[in-house]
Amino acid sequence: MFLRWLILLAFAGLCAAAPAMAEEAGTVATPNFVDQHQRIAKPDLSGRQRIRFLTSTDYPPFNFLDARGRLTGFNVDLAKAICEELGVLARCQIEALPFGDLVPALNRGDGEAVVAGLAMTATTRREFAFSQPYFRYPARFVSRKDRTIAEPVADHLTDKVVGVTDGSAHAAMLRAFFPDVTVQTFPDRLEGLAAMRQGKVDAYFGDGVSLSFWLESDAAAKCCAFAGGPFLSDRFLGEGLSVAVAPGDTELADAVDYAVAQLVAKGRMTELMLRYFPISAF
């Protein structure tokens, strides 16, 4: 939930400053989390009268209401693209609920799938079946453009001071992945980024998605850029975003996996990334 709130703040700050602008298609990095060597047969969903995707409105840029009050976002467009790839677009519905109501609604059968960043945990794995992850949260370093860290960053951090939010998963990850770095903790992300901008620390380590929006915001004033990375960790950052379905509906989970693999292979996942992320988090 903290990560949802953090990304919301970053996205809101960018929208207040200026419309998000994607990088040129030739320079943006678009990761592929789907094994293209899998042989997943195209599923037959002709027997389903409808497929209802449940989402929320409070998790930009993944799902939110635009200036005209329309439901939009990366997850929303992904659900539509999945349905189109499966040939069931006419029978697909996308319904927005408060995030806390999504699990009860799926348990009641008021929807067939949740596409809203529901975390895969030991508890949720007992309650639901999940598709393979279609998005994972990377951790990234950011530094001032006039104080760049040479690549590979792991070999050039011994004399650096890196800021991180106190008590966060990224603080634990920083110490585990880079034990030789000098760590300076801050009570919140904005204080850490301000210290980095002012040259009080050499870099800041945090969530790549929210940092991608900060880099394009007025607060950053084009001071800084990503350095090294991205860094992924199931242990510290979770397994990423997946579509949750009823525990017995593995057919639908497999159908989502098939569709996402096709979207990646055809370049449509890249198009979605370019649409919603101003600077690639990867």
What are the residue ranges spanned by the domains of the chain? 2-136+239-276, 139-236
CATH dotted code for 2-136+239-276: 3.40.190.10
Return the bridge partners of 64, or none.
58, 72
Pairing of strands 113-114, 51-55: parallel
Mean pLDDT over 154-162 rounds to 92
CATH dotted code for 139-236: 3.40.190.10
Q: How would residue 258 be classed by pLDDT, with cut points 50, 70 and 90?
A: very high
Q: How large a percentage of the chain has pLDDT more than 70?
A: 86
pLDDT tens per residue, range 168-200 = 999 999 999 999 899 999 999 999 999 999 999
Angle between helices 208-215 and 2-17 (to 10 degrees): 10
Task: Look at the block and give the residue holding tokens 């678009």.
Answer: 30
Task: Look at the block and give the residue holding tokens 């960053």.
Answer: 153
Contact 184, 163 (CB under 8 A): yes
Note the pTM of the prediction, 2 decimals.
Answer: 0.81
pLDDT tens per residue, range 111-156 = 999 999 888 888 888 999 999 999 999 999 999 999 999 999 999 9
What is the C-alpha to C-alpha distance for residues 107 and 147, in angstroms, rounded to an integer?
51
Same fold, 2-136+239-276 and 139-236: yes
Give the CA distances from residue 115 to residues 72, 75, 82, 211, 240, in Å, rounded to whole numbers and listed in that order.
12, 6, 11, 23, 12
* pLDDT value of position 182: 96
